[in-house]
A and B are shown apart, each in its own frame.
Chain A
Amino acid sequence: MNPLIPLFVIIPLAGAFLIMIIGRFIEEFNKYFTSLVLLLLTCISFYFLFTTGEKIFVYKVGGWEPINSLPIGIYMVMDGFSVIVVCIINLIGFLSAFYSISYIKRYTAGNYFYALFCLLIGGMNGVVLSGDLFNIFVFLEISVISSYALVAFGVESNELEASFKYQILGGLASFLILFGIGFIYWKTKTLNIADIKASFSSGYNKTTYLFIQILILSGFGLKAAIIPFHAWLPDAHSSAPSPISAMLSGVFIKAVGIYVIIRLFFNMFAISEGMAVLITALGTVSMVIGVFLAIGQWDIKRLLAYHSISQMGYVVMSVGIGMILVSRGTKPEIASLAIAGGLFHLVNHAAFKGLLFLNAGAIEYTIGTRNLKEMGGLAKSMPVTSATSFIASMSISGVPPFNGFFSKLIIIIAAVMAKFYLLAALAVIVSIITLASFLKFQRYAFFNRSNNSKNHNIREVPFPMVFSMVVLSIICVLLSLLVIPEIRDAILTPAINILTDPVKYSTSILVQ
């Protein structure tokens, strides 16, 4: 048992409550403490990224060993797939926390902000590392409830409205998830994911099984904002403070939505072709509709939020193609390629969407508006913001040599090789429309002539914000290296192997 695994949950939780106590007496404590804590967690997560490989670490909380090879305690599992998501969570979390050092001056009550931020991180780490369904639900609620509060942090009418909408739909999602978990417990008498897999493999009632799958898919689909369930996302992500928008859009919908869907549908349920086709269809629909909803927006953060839906559609579609091929049992190398494209795009999206929201926050910080029509000419006065947002825009639109190009290329190649020509064509078209909408963003925000007389004395944002944006843009460029086979083998291939092998996850956890 690796004793470092529970630290991902303990440290943020303890940090949140320490901030509430010490932050009352020492001013500025909250800012630097949160950044330090998250920097430490980032280091630990990268240590795991380079050491995990094909291994699966299991941590039994409280030291409860299995009895008659049936797991009875809480399991925390770290494998090739969860380590990637943990790295994203803590890295983007660190950069957002560092960015907030200056940004939070717009708001009062910094202690509450940072305490909720730590709870958000702790909850997401818990969701990703948890090995049983009920703890996934508990940690999901920790992170989701703190995100409700963070979305409403500005306490103005539109923010409260967005948070209210988010709470209602989020509550519905939690209900569906809990209902599904209840059904699973009723049928299998266990909550451990590996044990559920083993229990289902000895036979199940088809109707109940399908009902459980639909409940779980719609519950986590609501959290992931796949298209028929997306109504809360544009409001919630655009009303939150910008570092929180970066966390929610860049990390949150992946960690509590996409990650859990992929994990449960590959490693817990037996993959069926019908379900795989449904997931692919949902992904394609959100990819196409998301971008059409995005291109008409004039509010920067709403535009970015709709693009999150569209880009998540790429991930879900690509993983869905992989799932169809795995369920057919043919062409395993193309299935691996499709899943690799999906995971690669998931990592890339965290980098560039986080960066874009931080850019939007920088613009809002200096000129105090999010409306594209009121901006213009910022390229001269804010060179760093302009340059980093250009890199991010080109990445998300899939222009070489930035990271988005390679992941979209892999997705399209995989779709063509699997003979899904329509999906490949749609992916290309959506990518072009994405490019158009980001050219609009670049032109109106940075290169247009300024039509606002008060824009004369604007300056570049303070150092912490610049630092976070520059680091993220460097990451955007460096992530292209994941396309090189050696690096991909070290980082992405373990994750793909654990997803495509139907029994590896469950058997290797149960024997430990």
Chain B
Amino acid sequence: MKGMTLIVKKTTQLIAGMIFMYGIYVIVHGHLTPGGGFAGGVVIAGSLILITLSNGGDFMKLIKEESGTTIIESLATILVILVAVSGFIFGTKIFFNNFLPKGIVGHLVSAGVLPLYNIFVGTEVAASIFIIFLSLIIFKEESKE
């Protein structure tokens, strides 16, 4: 895949960063506003897909990218489980226990472990949607040869 013209490349370079930031915003405010891990993760994956589409497959070295993304995805899942298990260890011996201090309602740092879950779920969703996209592209590139 060769990528698109210079205009498209420059524009997506400008926009993709903002979309990425917006995804992070949705994720970290997940416990305060609508949205959260899943929605923000999809937005982040969208920005990554935008860059890949406009710049083409050679630019990204797709297969290397795919293995890195797989590792990030698995790590994020393991981190979710780790937070759940640490609720078991530090809290009252209950899996998925909300063991951190709850803070004040409406503050960014509040609600105990919920923001952590949102961040990990967001990473997981972004990585897995990006993997699906990458494997479709890799399949197309390989089947051409």
Contact = CB atoms under 8 A, between A and B. Distances in A.
Interface of A: 1, 3, 6, 10, 13-14, 17-18, 20-21, 24, 59-63
A21 B96 contact: no
A3 B88 contact: yes
B78 A18 contact: yes
Contacts of A20: 70-71, 74
B67 interface: yes
A21 B81 contact: no
Interface string B101-129: 00000000000000000000000000000
14 contacts: A13-B77, A14-B78, A17-B81, A18-B74, A20-B71, A21-B71, A21-B75, A24-B67, A24-B71, A59-B95, A62-B87, A62-B94, A62-B98, A63-B96
Contacts of A21: 71, 74-75, 78
Contacts of B85: 10
Given A3-B88, A10-B84, A24-B67, A63 B78 contact: no
B71 A10 contact: no
Contact of A62 (B71, B78, B93, B96): B96
B92 interface: yes
Report the 4 A-B pairs with minimum CB-CB distance, sorted nearest first.
A63-B94, A62-B96, A20-B74, A17-B74
Contacts of A60: 94
B97 interface: yes
Contacts, number: 47
Contacts of B91: 63
B94 A17 contact: no
Given A21-B75, A60-B94, A62-B96, 4 more contacts: A6-B95, A20-B74, A62-B95, A62-B98
A110 to B, nearest CB: 15
Contacts of B96: 61-63
A1 B92 CA distance: 11
Nearest to B91: A63
Nearest to B92: A63
A10 B81 contact: yes
A14 B80 CA distance: 10
Given A10-B84, A21-B71, A21-B74, A3 B97 contact: no
B95 A17 contact: no
B91 to A, nearest CB: 8
B41 to A, nearest CB: 16
Nearest to B94: A63
Looking at A17, A18, A60, the one whose CB has the most chain B CB atoms below 10 A away is A17
B113 to A, nearest CB: 10
Contacts of A13: 77, 81
Given A13-B81, A18-B78, A61 B95 contact: yes
Contacts of A63: 91-92, 94, 96-97
Contacts of B77: 13, 17
A1 B78 contact: no
Nearest to B67: A24
B81 A14 contact: yes
Contacts of B78: 14, 17-18, 21
B81 A1 contact: no
A10 B74 contact: no
B38 to A, nearest CB: 14
A63 B95 CA distance: 8
Contacts of B94: 1, 3, 60-63
Contacts of A62: 87, 94-98
Contacts of A18: 74, 78
A438 B137 CA distance: 49
A6 B98 CA distance: 16
A20 B94 CA distance: 27
Contacts of A14: 78, 81
A62 B84 CA distance: 9
A111 to B, nearest CB: 10
A238 B77 CA distance: 32
A18 B79 CA distance: 11
Contacts of B71: 20-21, 24
B66 to A, nearest CB: 12
Nearest to A10: B81
Nearest to A60: B94
B121 to A, nearest CB: 14
Contacts of A6: 95
Nearest to A7: B95
Looking at A1, A3, A10, A63, the one whose CB has the most chain B CB atoms below 10 A away is A63
A417 B108 CA distance: 69
Nearest to A74: B96
